[in-house]
Amino acid sequence: MVRKTLMVGLAGISMLAAVPAMAQGIGHSLFMRGSIVDTGSNGTVVCIGKADGAEVGQKLEVYRVVTHPGPPKGVAPTYHRQLVGHVTIDHIFDDHFAHVSVADGTPAKHDIVELRKN
């Protein structure tokens, strides 16, 4: 009975993941939103866009996750966010992505950008 319920649940999740529009929304909402996705020759791109309330000229704080290893007896490591700089939104591509310029600090790919709504 439990196995049958588990199989039905997995099948439902698989069908949702198979729909491209739905998968893009889930990926943006759960995994990418608020991260620096590229720092290449075309500049820095963040996963924050119109859908998040972003506007050209907004200044975003950039954080890096720092890990503190736990003791050797199996206690989980602890984490904290360290402020590493600020970026300013130059151009919003669409609902999900924007081009930014580094205002200060050393933002890197996979750092977290935070849009503060007042």
Instruction: Determine the average pLDDT of the residues in 45-59.
Output: 91
Tokens 């820095």 correspond to 44
pLDDT tens for 69-88 read: 767 676 777 888 999 999 99
Is residue 9 over pLDDT 60?
no
The number of beta carbons lying within 10 Å of the beta carbon of residue 20 is 8
Which residue has better confidence, 36 or 32?
36
Average pLDDT, the chain: 78
Of residues 46 and 71, the one with the higher pLDDT is: 46
Q: Look at residue 108 and tell me whether its pLDDT is greater than 90.
A: yes
Domains, the chain, ordered by start? 33-116 (2.40.10.410)
* Statement: residue 22 has pLDDT above 80: no
Q: Which two tokens stand for residue 87?
A: 């970026």
DSSP string, 58-73: -EEEEEEEEEEPPPTT
Indicate if the pLDDT at residue 8 is higher than 70.
no
pLDDT band at 12 (very low <50, low <70, confident <90, very high): low
- pLDDT above 90 covers a percentage of the chain that reads 39
DSSP result, the chain: -HHHHHHHHHHHHHHHHHSHHHHHHHIIIIIITTBEEEEETTEEEES--GGGT--TT-EEEEEEEEEEPPPTTTPPPEEEEEEEEEEEEEEE-SSS-EEEEEEEE---TT-EEE----
What was the pLDDT predicted at 43? 87
Q: Which residue has the higher pLDDT, 54 or 16?
A: 54
